[in-house]
Amino acid sequence: VYRQQALADGTHWKLGIDAGCLGPCAGGEWTQTQLHQLIGQQSPQGWDSQIRNELGAVLYGEIAPVRWQFGSAVDLAPTLQARFGNVFTDAGVSMMLRAGQLNALPDQPTLHAFVRTEVRAVGYNATLQGGYFSNDNVHTVDPKRLVGELEIGAAWKSTTWNISASVVRRSNEIEALPNQTGRQDFVRLLFSHAL
């Protein structure tokens, strides 16, 4: 559940709360196993060491105080974000550069390429440190306190459909791992339809 306001000058704010669960109740094992079968990959390993079930809630907010435009086809906007809860507690700043047919408001059509960078200070990450309310999780690690991310992709939005595809490189999140070993490279795909 969230509330947001976006203005035509490109500034916006959002405040919300996410609720759910982590551990086996989240369904990650089933989802990953089915995906691996679908694409003909080996069955995933390590699910017997996932963290225990716990209900989760995260209060989050973000604000983009300004957007700089360079003609009608290029813009640059910083965003400040913060999350507080028993799944994530962190704060970050990101910068998004977009080029193409841009939208001024979130519900307007767009077709653009983008580059986003982010730096996040981590206070708590239950996906690494285990459940906040169950300190008997034996399969946990200490998080790095500063994490960076780079995302490059493209987005298309009509009045009802939204498709985004990007490649993400995230820095190492685990304190005990060397940076080369712990960094993550993955593809992010988003499909949505508004009624």
Q: Read off the pLDDT of residues 50-60 as tens digits, 9 standing for 90 and up.
A: 888 889 999 99
- Six-digit token string for 187: 């593809």
pLDDT of residue 45: 86
- pLDDT of 133 over the 80 cut: no
- Kindly list the distances between the CA atom of residue 103 and the CA atoms of 100, 152, 163, in Å, as whole numbers in the listed order: 9, 18, 14
Distance from C-alpha of 103 to C-alpha of 8, rounded to nearest angstrom: 9
pLDDT confidence tier of residue 195, bands split at 50, 70 and 90: confident
pLDDT of residue 173: 95
Is the model more confident about 31 or about 131?
31
Judge whether 74 and 99 are in contact, CB under 8 Å. yes
- pLDDT of 100 over the 90 cut: yes
Judge whether 83 and 124 are in contact, CB under 8 Å. no
22 conformational bin, left if phi > 0, alpha if psi -120 to 50, beta if neither: beta
State the pairing for strand pair 54-64/161-170. Answer: unpaired
Question: Residues of the chain with pLDDT > 90: what percent?
Answer: 71
pLDDT digits (tens, 9 = 90+) for 138-168: 778 899 999 999 999 999 999 899 999 999 9
pLDDT of residue 105: 86
Distance from C-alpha of 64 to C-alpha of 171, rounded to nearest angstrom: 24
pLDDT of residue 116: 98
Judge whether 168 and 187 are in contact, CB under 8 Å. yes
- Kindly list the distances between the CA atom of residue 119 and the CA atoms of 24, 70, 71, 173, 188, in Å, as whole numbers in the listed order: 30, 24, 27, 12, 18
pLDDT digits (tens, 9 = 90+) for 4-26: 999 989 899 999 999 999 888 99
3-state secondary structure 95-110: EEEEEEECCCCCCCCE
Task: Indicate the residue type of 103.
Answer: N
* Residue 184 neighbours by CB distance under 10 Å: 12
Q: Which residue has the tokens 């841009």?
A: 102
- Six-digit token string for 118: 């982010």
- pLDDT of 134 over the 80 cut: no
Question: Residues of the chain with pLDDT > 70: what percent?
Answer: 98
Q: Give this prediction's pTM.
A: 0.85
Return the biggest CA–CA distance within the chain: 56
Judge whether 137 and 105 are in contact, CB under 8 Å. no
